Amino acid sequence: MKRASPTRQRLSALGLIGVPLLTYPLITLPEGSLAGIPAAYLYLFGVWAGLILIAALVAESKGK
């Protein structure tokens, strides 16, 4: 059986970590607002942007 590349394994792990972070119970936990923006929105888009940033870093790494 052929083994998956380390990059593919890391991206799969990132997806498995990201799914629970973006589920309904965790999205509703933050309350309040910051500069008039609801905390739930900040959490949602912050996690989303973080996952994209980490995925880009993993994809661009040379397998170090």
Residue with tokens 């629970």: 20
Query: What's this model's pTM, rounded to 2 decimal places?
Result: 0.84
Tokens of 16: 């498995």
Cβ distance 30 to 40 under 8 Å?
yes
pLDDT of residue 1: 72
pLDDT in tens, the chain (64 residues): 778 889 999 999 999 999 999 999 888 888 999 999 999 999 999 999 999 999 999 999 875 5
pLDDT of residue 4: 80
pLDDT of residue 64: 57
For β-strands 33-34 and 37-38, DSSP reports them as antiparallel
Tokens of 62: 């040379």
